[in-house]
Amino acid sequence: MGRSAAQKILAAHLVEGSMTSGSEISIRIDQTLTQDSTGTMAYLQFEAIGLPRVKTRLSVSYVDHNTLQSGFENADDHKYLQTVAAKYGVRFSRPGNGICHQVHMERFGVPGQTLLGSDSHTPTCGGLGMLAIGAGGLDVAVAMGGGPCFLSMPKIHRVVLEGRLRPWVSAKDVILEVLRRLSVKGGVGRIVEYAGPGVASLSVPERATITNMGAELGATTSIFPSDATTRAFLAAQGREGDFVAVEADADAVYDEETVIDLDALVPLAARPHSPDNVSGVGSIGPVRVDQVCIGSCTNSSYLDMMKVAAVLKGKTVHPEVSLTISPGSRQVLAMLSSNGALADLVAAGARILESACGPCIGMGQSPRTDAVSLRTFNRNFEGRSGTASAQVYLVSPETAAASALAGVLTDPRTLGAAPVVAPVPHFAVNDNLVVDPAADPDSVAIVRGPNIKPFPRNKALPPALSGKALIRLGDNITTDHIMPSNSKLLPYRSNVPYLAGFCLTPCDPDFPKRARENGGGFIVGGSNYGQGSSREHAALAPLELGIRGVLVLSFARIHMANLINNGILPLTFADPADYAALDPMDELAVDDAPGQVRAAAQGRDVTVRNVTKGTAMRMCLPISARQADILLAGGLLNYTRGEG
């Protein structure tokens, strides 16, 4: 029996385990990436491991999130990241060089290799045929130290693309259609592998748009084959020597399959406040638009920008619309500048922002109260824009440009002939903002600003856990809810004691105060708890507040891993009725916690007593023996260091 493309890469990198769906495996990691929002913590943790040098083929530290310097905090963190990278053998992509996923795809991604990144959209490089996985910073720190990446062997969900996209329909519409069909939970425990005759018609940037938003499916990763299109892209980047063909065997067997006819797709939009709340642009109607933001790691490639410039050329943005453009990399910005497209964008009234994440993570450009904002981004969670009352729609660059001109949500097919962007034979390559590590690490002094505080460390699991159910939440709680991400809080990513004061405040402003007054306790939630970003701060902040366990109906993959990595019990209700019957401030207890964790690794349930109601709840803790040892040690760092 043949193997899929993803299975081939997994098999070539397998360290231990059996590639049977659901079983724990570990794989060797070739490359890592971090960004400044998660990177400071990842490198603090790498330092705590105590190794003198990274052991990967390539590790790159990017600055692309916290680029607004309204105080010393961000600039201090950037200096720490540059000096720690120089000392430990990591390349450093300076502020202004671009968004990590766009730059990594352009300059560093290699088909057939593995990439582990401390950002949930690391699967962007799956568009190149990489096995690229998002993870928490501590997992990335361990990988930089030469440790394997552990994961539950995913199912392989094959998405067959047939036909060819019609004019004005784009790759963004493809992934929105996948989200419409499968939902934000549909990729959990799966690798989404794209195949079929329609693949050949998609460029590498278009493929990367699709794999990028596989994160919104909850998928472990998404991947396209590496083929002649991939080779041409790498050749245009001056990297044809990195090309390796990666394709599925003809007799590969898949766990699930979805077929999408590209010819049948129309321009789509994800309505507020979820990426899977998808409808046709035409069926939604001419919603008045206040703001349009084009960019992010999803749609900021040269191809995307050129299409937008062609739509806007010779026209003027509607007077009621604020239009912002964020080119994904300095390479893209330089090419737009040299060929005149940047002038067309500026003449039309676009506001040109830095080549960085910017508005996508709430770092500037928050819309006005009750505004409608169209964004080519990957997430439209409530409040993520920085304005709680804003209504954010996710759309393609073509739909965004058409709507910016009309002032209302507009189907771009009404504009006539679609722009055609010719393939680029040679990209403008200039890596002078990528700093190589120091030749003499001992000569480097790591600079730590006053905003960098020690991160919380758990202790070995005690004989028993007890505490109150401090909060009871519903479904689809995101990491933005757990640890808000905005321009006011992002500068404090290296200061967990300060950040903890905002934990879960979008759901309950009094949660941090209540947690501290009660000496910690438990969090209770619904299904898909922790969806969204890979940020481990959504586990570190609860740890700082004394959270001992999280009891939910189901978890998002990365967040569950981050809880385990920090020694917090991630428990799921065996009987949903227990979730319904549990009230806030009920006193909970886990007796013989170490013994129950060991038993959970053997497939047994964990019993949590509701002391207040005098009942017992059966909880699932689907962990491996290794994960049990991590929990017993009080987290992955203690386990890695042999402590706990």
State which residues of the chain have pLDDT below 50: none
Q: Are 478 and 120 in contact (CB under 8 A)?
A: no
CATH number at residue 285: 3.30.499.10
Q: Are residues 11 and 92 in the same domain?
A: yes
Residues 258 and 395 in one domain: no
Please indicate, yes or no, whether residues 255 and 280 belong to a single structural domain of this protein.
no
pLDDT value for 643: 67
Provide the pLDDT for residue 342: 98
Does 65 qualify as catalytic in the annotation? yes
pLDDT digits (tens, 9 = 90+) for 500-511: 999 999 999 999
pLDDT (0 to 100) of residue 386: 87
- CATH code of the domain containing 588: 3.20.19.10
How many domains are contained in the chain?
A: 3
Question: 3-class DSSP state for residue 613?
Answer: coil
CA 482 to chain CA centroid, nearest Å: 15
Identity at 624, one-letter amino acid code: S
Choosing from 91, 239, 271, 535, the catalytic residue is: 535
275 and 191, same structural domain? Answer: no
**pLDDT tens across 483-536, in order?**
988 778 888 888 999 999 999 999 999 999 999 999 999 999 999 999 887 778
Which DSSP symbol is given to 610?
E
Q: What is the pLDDT of residue 488?
A: 83
Q: Catalytic site residue 78?
A: no
44 and 174 inside one domain? yes
Annotated catalytic residue, options 91, 104, 271, 379: 379
Quick check: 269 and 395 in contact, CB under 8 A? yes
Give the count of beta carbons closer than 10 Å to the beta carbon of residue 48: 17
Task: Please indicate, yes or no, if residue 403 is contained in any of the structural domains.
Answer: yes
Q: Which amino acid is at 337?
A: S
Among the three residues 264, 290, 322, which one is the final residue of a domain in this structure? 264
Q: Which residues pair with 280 in a beta bridge?
A: 268
Q: Of these residues, 30, 36, 64, 173, which one is catalytic? A: 64
Q: Where is the domain boundary, 232, 264, 296?
A: 264
606 beta partners? 619
Q: At which of 220, 239, 264 does a domain end?
A: 264
Q: Which one of 65, 157, 384, 559 is the catalytic residue?
A: 65
In a domain, residue 593? The reply is yes
Q: Is 535 a catalytic residue?
A: yes
pLDDT for the residue numbered 301? 97
Q: What is the 3-state secondary structure (H, E, C) of 471-491?
A: EECCCCCEHHHHCCCCCCCHH
183 shares a domain with 118: yes
The pTM (predicted TM-score) of the whole model is: 0.93
- 435 within domain boundaries: no
- 349 CB burial (10 A radius; 0-12, 13-18, 19+): middle
Active-site residue, 533 included: yes
Taking the CA atoms of the chain, what radius of gyration do you get in angstroms? 24
Residue 446 lies in a domain: no
Which residue in 533, 557, 559, 586 is the catalytic one?
Answer: 533
What is the domain extent for residue 140? 5-264
Which of the residues 30, 76, 77, 119 is marked catalytic? Answer: 119
Residue 323: CB atoms within 10 A of its CB come to 25
